[in-house]
């Protein structure tokens, strides 16, 4: 199927004349900038924060491109991945008319964003092994389907989706396939970014919030064709990523070795934690994880959750989520935090709870 980007883009977006910032109208070198109504005296905290940030995050993208093996023109930088998710709706889905496909159990924001944008959601649930039901997804596509969200590694199940399934769905769909790779740094497989040049309808989301340890800074990434990135840049708020955030992420990239060390420790801890958890008789199953959390199916999720809250340890109760009956999602912590969790659980059922 030949993919026609203009055909799946909302007409008002195709016709949009985007806001032109002072910084985009004059981006050359000059000495005196009296074009943006900034405070010319300075910022009270220094740091050059009196000036508006680079709306296209040029330096940051120049640093990200070689790490991710993509061209800078294939990168969108947003205020968290959540901004990129919302942009997908605003660019491709006509409210009250178009629809999207999501594959539960999965990340909640895809539906929240759909509801905010008044876009219908078709749910094609995962198979019992948490893999995509490819043929059901493909038969769920209709004339007005604009987006298919795939989360890989998936939250909350922790597994990677089969690469061939994602490729097959993208090849059969004349809309956008969004692959959310928030946890890819913990996974045993490489990113889908290698498919970008052969799949013009692929959008890959990544984030600095998880492995990179920068959740509070709010920076997410999207990788796609330069044409799709161009649409995202037209629709985003002009100054969507602050200069503080851009500088902080460049600093993080300068410390990639620290991050890589933490990823290695997280993988070790994930294995150790999974093993310890599996030894409890109230644990029925620990699902294999490609992320920085494990999904545990337990005998009495509610009681264990409350027992842990009393011990001042918070995990995520996913027991009411489809296909996740009785499941708790547990983030891999530091070695100390993980042993605290295990020691607490050793007392579960003994202290009369």
d(CA 220, CA 212): 11
Neighbours of 1 (CB within 10 A): 9
Query: Is 155 near ligand PLP (CB under 6 A)?
Result: yes
Query: Is 81 near ligand PLP (CB under 6 A)?
Result: yes
How many residues sit in the footprint of ligand PLP (CB under 6 A)?
A: 13
Neighbours of 150 (CB within 10 A): 23
CB 59 within 8 A of CB 246: yes
In the bound complex, which residue of the shown chain has the CB atom lying closest to ligand PLP?
A: 80
In 140-227, which ranges are E strands?
Answer: 145-151, 176-180, 202-207, 220-223
**283 or 291: CB nearest ligand PLP:** 291
Query: Is 215 near ligand PLP (CB under 6 A)?
Result: yes
Residues 98-127 that bind ligand PLP (CB under 6 A): 107
> Least CB distance from residue 7 to ligand PLP, whole Å?
28
**145 or 154: CB nearest ligand PLP:** 154
Query: Is 75 near ligand PLP (CB under 6 A)?
Result: no
**283 or 327: CB nearest ligand PLP:** 327
The binding track of 26-55 with respect to ligand PLP, each residue x by CB under 6 A or -, is ------------------------------
Which residues face 77 on adjacent strands?
A: 221
**207 or 243: CB nearest ligand PLP:** 207
Q: In what order do the strands lie in the sheet with 283-286?
A: 283-286, 293-298, 327-331, 316-317
> Least CB distance from residue 111 to ligand PLP, whole Å?
12
Burial class (CB in 10 A: 0-12, 13-18, 19+), 233: middle
**245 or 298: CB nearest ligand PLP:** 245
DSSP assignment of 202-219 equals EEEEEESSSTTS-GGG--
How are the residues of the chain apportioned to helix, strand and coil, as percentages rounded to the nearest 5?
Answer: 40, 15, 45
d(CA 76, CA 69): 14
**193 or 209: CB nearest ligand PLP:** 209
Show Cβ contacts of residue 237 under 8 Å, excluding neighbours closer than 6 positions.
none
Given candidates 54, 82, 99, 290, which one binds ligand PLP under the rule CB under 6 A? 82
**126 or 283: CB nearest ligand PLP:** 126
Determine the interface stretch with ligand PLP among 158-166, 204-212, 233-241, 268-276 (rule: CB under 6 A): 204-212
CB 307 within 8 A of CB 287: no
> Least CB distance from residue 161 to ligand PLP, whole Å?
12
Query: Is 80 near ligand PLP (CB under 6 A)?
Result: yes
d(CA 204, CA 220): 11
Closest CA to 287 of 279, 277, 295, 275: 295
**205 or 231: CB nearest ligand PLP:** 205
Residues 163-192 that bind ligand PLP (CB under 6 A): 180, 182
Determine the interface stretch with ligand PLP among 49-57, 76-84, 128-136, 160-168 (rule: CB under 6 A): 76-84
Interface with ligand PLP (CB under 6 A): 80-82, 107, 151, 155, 180, 182, 207, 209-210, 215, 220
């Amino acid at each position: 199927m030949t993919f026609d980007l203009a055909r799946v883009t909302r007409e008002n977006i195709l016709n949009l004349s985007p806001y032109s910032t002072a910084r985009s109208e004059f981006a050359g070198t000059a000495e005196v900038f009296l074009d943006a109504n900034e405070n010319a005296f300075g910022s009270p905290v220094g740091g050059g924060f009196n000036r508006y940030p680079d709306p296209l995050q040029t330096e940051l993208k120049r640093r990200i491109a070689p790490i991710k093996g993509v061209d800078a023109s294939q990168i969108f930088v947003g205020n968290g991945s959540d901004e990129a998710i919302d942009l997908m709706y605003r660019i491709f889905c006509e409210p009250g008319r178009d629809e999207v496909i999501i594959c539960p159990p999965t990340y909640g924001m895809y539906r929240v964003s759909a509801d905010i944008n008044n876009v219908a959601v078709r749910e094609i649930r995962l198979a019992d092994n948490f893999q995509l039901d490819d043929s059901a997804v493909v038969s769920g596509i209709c004339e007005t389907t604009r987006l298919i969200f795939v989360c890989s590694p998936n939250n909350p199940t922790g597994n990677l989706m089969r690469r061939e399934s994602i490729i097959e769905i993208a090849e059969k769909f004349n809309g956008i396939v969004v692959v959310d790779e928030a946890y890819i740094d913990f996974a045993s497989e490489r990113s889908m970014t290698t498919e970008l040049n052969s799949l013009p309808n692929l959008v890959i989301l990544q984030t600095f919030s998880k492995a990179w340890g920068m959740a509070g800074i709010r920076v997410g990434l999207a990788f796609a064709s330069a044409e799709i990135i161009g649409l995202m840049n037209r629709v985003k708020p002009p100054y969507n990523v602050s200069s503080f955030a851009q500088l902080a992420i460049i600093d993080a990239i300068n410390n990639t070795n620290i991050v890589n060390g933490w990823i290695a420790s997280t993988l070790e801890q994930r294995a150790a934690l999974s093993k310890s958890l599996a030894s409890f008789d109230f644990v029925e199953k620990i699902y294999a994880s490609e992320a920085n959390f494990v999904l545990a199916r337990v005998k009495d999720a509610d009681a264990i959750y409350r027992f842990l809250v009393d011990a001042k340890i918070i995990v995520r109760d996913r027991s009411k989520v489809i296909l996740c009956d009785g499941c708790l999602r547990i983030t891999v912590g530091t070695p100390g935090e993980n042993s605290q969790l295990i020691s607490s659980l050793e007392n579960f059922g003994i202290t009369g709870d």
